[in-house]
Amino acid sequence: MGIPTGTVMRLFLLPHKDQRQMFFCVNLDPPIKQGQTRYHYLVFSFMQEDETDLELPFTEEELKEKYEGKLEKEMKGPTFEIVSKLMKAMVNRKITVPGAFMGHSGTPAISCSYKAASGFIYPLERGFMFVYKPPIFVKFDDVQAVNFARSGGSNRSFDIEIKTRGESIYTFSSIEKDEYSRLYEFLKSKKITVKSTGKMDASKLDLSSDNIDHYAETVKADAESSDGSNNSMSSDDEDFNPDTLEAKDAKEEYDSDPSDTGSETDEGSGSGSEGEKSKRRKEKADKKAAKAARKKSSAPSERRSKTQEEDEASWPT
């Protein structure tokens, strides 16, 4: 299958999170077709340790004339580097590589899922690139807002929802919470509008401009995380912070403070030592006998007996 060099729009060279592989992505427009399927991207995977020794079928003069000296007749080195150099020279396109962003893993790759497919999202200098089923590239210039949200109620991961100016929405889910602060600060440095909600719902997102200082809110949330607050975790305008949510959710789900349960207080109500109970019973018996003598009644009424039980139950401990 031949690929016209004029259809190659972008080239990406991205390190796998395992630091052993490299992805080389080729963006095509118009896409190539196989049957009824269109492919806008070709993704090649190389092991970093694999090397290639190649001799090009051109003379030195031809290489200089055709490729302006960008290629050498004999090329040797890691396979991903050889392929990258060849493609760059042949299609005359720059290769996009990761820039300043570095994730929690020490690589620019962030593990996530898009729909049912797991992969990696790369925050580049000018856009997001997801690899690789399907490969997705979103330029920052096309981003209207990025929404951070809890991942299906989990406090150990979060989602990002990217809304473009063309009203398309891309949701990348199950991102480890340790990536939150780095990704958040990176996007803010790129002047991208960042939102946060407790529950992902595209129909209810408020994507209008806000004046919230998210960094200040994050610091405030961290400071208040231990105050036992029971405020809602899903307010649309609150800053989302997984670490804070985990601390609060742990108390909500596993409350180990006996003072909050009240079980011991309830069980102890109306109870006392056996000596105190005997004393109370004797006092009541004496009162009952005296009243019975005055009324010349041989037995206490059913109502009186019930009143006795209620009095006993309410006797202070």
The pTM of the full predicted model, rounded to 2 decimals, is 0.62
For the chain, how many residues are written?
Answer: 317
In contact, 7 and 29? CB cutoff 8 Å: yes
Closest CA to 210 of 231, 235, 230: 235
Query: CB burial class (10 A; 0-12, 13-18, 19+) of residue 211?
Result: exposed
CA of residue 270 relative to chain centroid, distance? 50
Q: Which residue has the higher pLDDT, 150 or 317?
A: 150
pLDDT band at residue 282 using 50, 70 and 90 as cut-offs:
confident
Q: What is the pLDDT of residue 216?
A: 38
Dist CA 315 CA 317 (whole Å): 7
Q: How far is 74 from 53, CA to CA, in rounded Å?
A: 8
Average pLDDT, the chain: 75
Residues in a beta bridge with 138: 128
The pLDDT assigned to 197 comes to 74
What share of the chain in percent tops pLDDT 70? 64
Outline where 24-160 has alpha helix (H). 60-67, 79-91
CA 95/CA 283 separation, integer angstroms: 96
β-pairing, 154-164 vs 95-96, is: unpaired
Q: What is the mean pLDDT of residues 265-285?
A: 54
Helices 302-313, 274-295: crossing angle, 10 deg rounding: 150
pLDDT above 50 (res 163):
yes
Q: CB under 8 Å to 225, separation ≥6 — which residues? A: 243, 244, 247, 248
Q: What is the 3-state composition of the chain as percent helix, strand, coil, each rounded to the nearest 5?
A: 35, 30, 35
Q: Is residue 290 over pLDDT 70?
A: yes
Q: Identify the residue with better confidence: 267 or 22.
A: 22
Distances (CA, A) of 33 to 23, 26, 42: 22, 15, 12
pLDDT at residue 133 tops 80: yes
pLDDT at 132: 80
> Parallel, antiparallel, or unpaired: how do β-strands 143-151 and 8-15 relate?
unpaired
And the tokens for 182? 């780095």
Is the peptide bond between 123 and the residue preceding it cis, with omega within 30 degrees of 0?
Answer: no
3 state DSSP class of 70: coil
